[in-house]
Structure 1
Amino acid sequence: MQATAGQIVEAVYGVPPALQALRTALAARKYGHAADVFAVVKKQHPELHLTENYVNVWGYALLRQGQAQPALEIFKLNVSLFPKSWNTYDSLAETYESTGNKPQAIENYRRSLALNPRNANTVERLRKLGTP
């Protein structure tokens, strides 16, 4: 629903130039090194501001579209922007898990759990991955 709401807002008001510059730059680099691309665009557009939730929704939208590698880069960007958020690591771990990268999934689930020891989903995912 959030993605749909975002599409409606963009249709009515347009995409802010800073966000469009980021999207264009990411597409040109095939989403590689998203955190570096963000830093360059941020220098050119200091008004660029991304919320944790916006980036997370963006990553999951890419994942649903079958674009696992771009989604992975967006989730890495979210971790770099919000390194103290357990949720950013959890989303990154889920993406690694969905792409079959078990070691990276476990590593990021552990980081998420360190930040939020009460995250039952992470405990369950680690258990299913065979990690105590």
Structure 2
Amino acid sequence: MAKKKRNRLSIDFSGFEEYYEKFDRLNADSKKITEKALQKSYEMITPNIKKSIQPHHLTGATENALRENEKVEWQGNLGTIHVGFSISEGGLASIFLMYGTPRMQPPDKKLYNSIYGAAIKKKVQALQKEIFDEELTKVMK
């Protein structure tokens, strides 16, 4: 149901497919469960991004480009939620901050890791698995 794209969250943890099969057999609303997991993941990541961008405040344009009030969007059975910065709304500088430029070294690894880091990915996976476990328990009762 959820798929990984640039600057979008996805549902990605070990055993994910088995959960969907169980939800399908139990006639549970897997779309609602996916939406809850994506929204909670987004709510966990965004404050860390906001905190990581604050040291770079000059004009506030990049900070204002942070996607802070996103909701899950559905295209058929594919649910997505945007995270990070909106490039078209002034977030282009975030790319330069995360990866560095020839004139600006070193790149800001704290900002990069707040979005793409292994630690945040593990936290998101654990949160999503916890949500799916809770929902499976509710459905089975």
The two structures have a TM-score, normalised by structure 2, of 0.27
- Higher share in helix: 1
Larger Cα-atom Rg: 2
The two structures have a TM-score, normalised by structure 1, of 0.28
Larger RCO: 1 or 2 (CA < 8 Å, sep 6+):
2
